[in-house]
Structure 1
Amino acid sequence: MIVQGTVIFHGNARGMPLFLTAPLSFYGGVDPHTGHIIQHGHPQHGQCIAGRILVLDASTGSTVGTWTILRMRKNRVAPAGIITHHCDPVLAAGSIIAKIPHIDGIPSSALGTSMTSIAGAEVISGASETAAPFHERENRTQDSGGIILKLGGSLITEKESLTPKIHERRLHNLAAALSQTTVPMVIVHGAGSFGHGPVQRMGLLNRTPGPDTSRGWSEVMSLQYALNNEVAHALRVAGLAPWPLQSELIAGPWASPLWGRQMLMETLTHGLVPLLYGSPELAPDGTFDILSGDTIVAACARLLGWKTIIHLTDVRGVYASPVDFTGDPIPFIYADEPPPNLTPGSSKPDVTGGMSGKLSPLLALALCGVTSHIVSGEEPDVIHRILSGEQVGTTITVTRHWRGKS
């Protein structure tokens, strides 16, 4: 089915549709930090609109809703596109200032049950403004059909080393295991001894701006290119076709959700494996910071709408007392319950928050239906076991009741 309407904001977007069966108030009805519908009594309460094609008859509520939509865009949890029958000024202004592709004037009959079975939808601005289903790609790059893999820096490098050093055995064993994976995947790797140690030794996070600081960050950035090249080489030797991408285009202050998603999808469509990595970032105000691999993983999940994240680390999962890794890890962590109290448990340098830094974005993603697994990268056949439904390591999901646990 192809239907025509009036463009509110030009652009291209693609994603799984989310049909709203009642008007939505963005102000007070949507959490601008997670994209979660929180409007009391709304039929779609609890759904996450981040990265979706939002299909609704009309919106309602305060003019502050425009501000909410902009906040969602800045937090990278805004819808990928919007299709409406009757667009009020609040939603129109929000679409424009947040730069969300939006088509209005679609007949109400086309927004109803006759469209609810489609696999996806796209909003396209061109010679004519259209909204239409899109079909599942042959290589299964549709929303729920892939996995996002994080290769921990402490796994693929000698993270405690005073100088940058690859853990050759682990890296090549991982590459061989990944080559047996049959589902589409995006790979993100950490910096390990190529990043955390140098940043700490040079004190870059505490330095005042100046030529020496810039040279220090430049050195660290060059190390990330070197590590990424080593990872890409190992993957190619194993038979994969990695395609390194500039991480700042996917996450961080320079990222574009529209182009980031399109870049990932096109890479996957051509049989390539997107390969991203944590690295220094230069903010618009001229300051330096670190774009962590964990942040990039969360951004990829939102952009693609994929529902499975696997963190491959040098430990077997999340521990309440990580000083002693001899016991069993916490099997489940639920987003609707207080997170476990983690204590620092590693002497390895880490400037991006360690295990606690991983959990925060994963818990937010769990509210949007994403299930994450933190496991040892040295567990035999661990990816296949997870995809087969086996519980391995620590699983982060939305609620205990959803898992069917008592």
Structure 2
Amino acid sequence: MFILKIGGSILTNKDSKESEVDTESLKRIALEIKSSLDNSPKELIIVHGAGSFGHPPAKKYKIGEKFDESEYPQKRIGFCETQNAVKKLNMYICEAFIDVGLPVVAIPASSFMTATNKRITSGNLDAFKRYLDKGFIPVIYGDVVLDDELEICVISGDQLIQYLAMNLNPDKVILGTDVDGVYNKNPKTHDDAIFFEKFTSLKDLDTFEGTTNVDVTGGMVGKIKELLYLADLGIESKIINAEVENNIYKVLENEEVKGTVISRGN
């Protein structure tokens, strides 16, 4: 079983004021996944980010921050706008995958998960297991959910990966981002950025300045923290550049791809 996360920055223009799908990247990724599954059958779960669709309304309405009861009506609207936005992106993604012959089925986190203080605390995964058994590819994405302490909150795709991996024990977790892996600073703006072939400890964050914009889901630091938790359970992850042609195909085929491995030990 593989869990593949495709970052919102790959699928959309995340910094755009408009919700835009990168149709070219989406089609290429769909074809790479299809080629891998045709070459070697495997169970696959796809997680995708919210990108330019979900982040603007979540930020506008400050979803996940404490609020007074008088603000609840507006917060509910913000919840609905955010949920609807990420659902639209998921529809575009699923359509592209179906077009190339991938049997994907959307399973929104907001439909069955709840959280406590921004951490997933419940979510029955029987549906995932049944769809996998029938040969489907479940697709889940960053979403808004009910929160026992904060009423509502954002659940990132990275946290979904952790929850799914903890409960389904995949053979490999792969994160496709817009950089080659983890650097101590943004490699797009710093020529002296140092690349990490392997990340094993939070201590490595001492000189870490991040590689992407910090957003409502935590950016690269958030990804690393979620994946190090999985590493403690013996589940290895790899962060790769999904913008590089054939990288997703290669990593699904266990071929060599530049990236950062997240694991414990030497």
Same fold (TM over 0.5): yes
Give the match for residue 143 of structure 2.
279
The one of 335, 340, 357 equivalent to 2:222 is 357
Contact preservation (8 Å) 2:240, 2:257: no
Q: CA RMSD in A?
A: 2.2
For the pair 1:184 / 2:30, whether they are aligned, the reply is: no
* Structure 2: 5+ residue stretches without partners: none
- Bigger shift: residues 176-185 or 228-237: 176-185
After the TM superposition, which residues 2-401 of structure 1 pair with which residues of structure 2 at under 5 Å, given as runs?
146-182=1-37, 183-206=42-65, 207-208=67-68, 209-248=71-110, 249=112, 252=115, 256=122, 259-260=124-125, 262-285=126-149, 287-322=151-186, 324=189, 329-335=195-201, 338-340=203-205, 341-347=207-213, 350-386=215-251, 387-400=253-266
* In structure 2, C-alpha distance between the alignment counterparts of 1:216 and 1:388, rounded to whole Å: 41
TM-score when scaled to structure 2? 0.86
How many residues get paired?
A: 251
* Inter-CA distance 186–194: structure 2 relative to 1 (3 Å threshold): same
Distance 1:169 1:389, change over 3 A: closer
For 1:281 and 1:224, locate their aligned partners in 2 and report how far apart those are by CA, in whole Å: 12
Deviation sequence 1:276-335 (CA, Å, 0-9, x none): 011111113561110111111111111111131110111111110125365563111114
Asked whether the equivalents of residues 8 and 49 of structure 2 are also in contact (C-alpha less than 8 Å), the reply is yes
Deviates more, 1:350-359 or 1:247-256: 247-256
Residues 150-185 of structure 1 show CA distances to partners (whole Å, capped at 9, x for unaligned) of 010111011010121111111111111111222211
Indicate the structure with greater helix content: 2
Indicate if the aligned counterparts of 2:33 and 2:249 stay in contact, CA closer than 8 A. Answer: no
| Kept after mapping to 2: 8 A contact 1:150/1:311 | yes
8 Å contact from structure 2 (residues 58, 154) kept in 1: no
Q: Could you tell me which amino acid in structure 1 is paired with residue 6 of structure 2?
A: L
Deviation at 1:367, TM superposition (A): 1.4
Distance (Å, rounded) in 1 between the aligned partners of 2:29 and 2:257: 20
| Cα drift, residue 255 of structure 1 | 5.7
Runs of 4+ in 1 over 6 A off after TM superposition: none
- Whether the 8 Å CA contact 2:183–2:208 is kept in 1: the answer is yes
User: TM-score, normalised to structure 1's length?
Assistant: 0.58
- How far, CA to CA, are the matches of 1:190 and 1:307 in structure 2? 21
Using the alignment, how far apart are the partners of 1:388 and 1:285 within structure 2? Answer: 42
Deviations 1:342-397 (A, max 9, x none): 214444x6111100000111001111111111111122322343342525211111
Query: 1:68-93 CA distances to partner (integer Å, 9 max, x unpaired)?
Result: xxxxxxxxxxxxxxxxxxxxxxxxxx
Relative distance call for 1:212 and 1:256 in structure 2 (3 A) is closer
Aligned residues of 1:175 and 1:238 also touching (Cα < 8 A)? yes
- Compute the displacement of 1:237 (Å): 0.7
Instruction: State percent identity of aligned pairs.
Output: 28
Q: Which runs of 5+ in 1 are unaligned?
A: 1-145, 401-406
Question: What do residues 112-171 of structure 1 show as CA deviations (whole Å, max 9, x unaligned)?
Answer: xxxxxxxxxxxxxxxxxxxxxxxxxxxxxxxxxx11000101110110101211111111
Gap change, CA 1:203 and 1:384, over 3 Å in 2: closer
**8 Å contact kept, 1:197–1:350:** no
Distance 2:109 2:64 in 1: 20
Q: Secondary structure at the match of 2:21?
A: coil
Deviation at 1:271, TM superposition (A): 1.2
Q: Which has the larger radius of gyration?
A: 1
Is the contact between residue 107 and residue 138 of structure 2 (CA under 8 Å) also seen in structure 1? yes
> Which amino acid in the other structure matches residue 232 of structure 2?
L
Contact 1:185 / 1:273 at 8 angstroms: preserved in 2?
yes
Q: Residue 142 of structure 2 aligns to which amino acid in structure 1? A: G
SS in 2 for 1:148: strand
CA contact (8 A) 2:12 2:52 kept: yes
Change in CA separation of 1:274 and 1:281 when aligned onto 2, cut-off 3 Å: same
Specify the code of the residue in structure 2 equivalent to 1:268. L
Instruction: Specify whether residues 173 and 319 from structure 1 end up closer, same or farther in structure 2 by C-alpha distance, changes over 3 A only.
Output: same
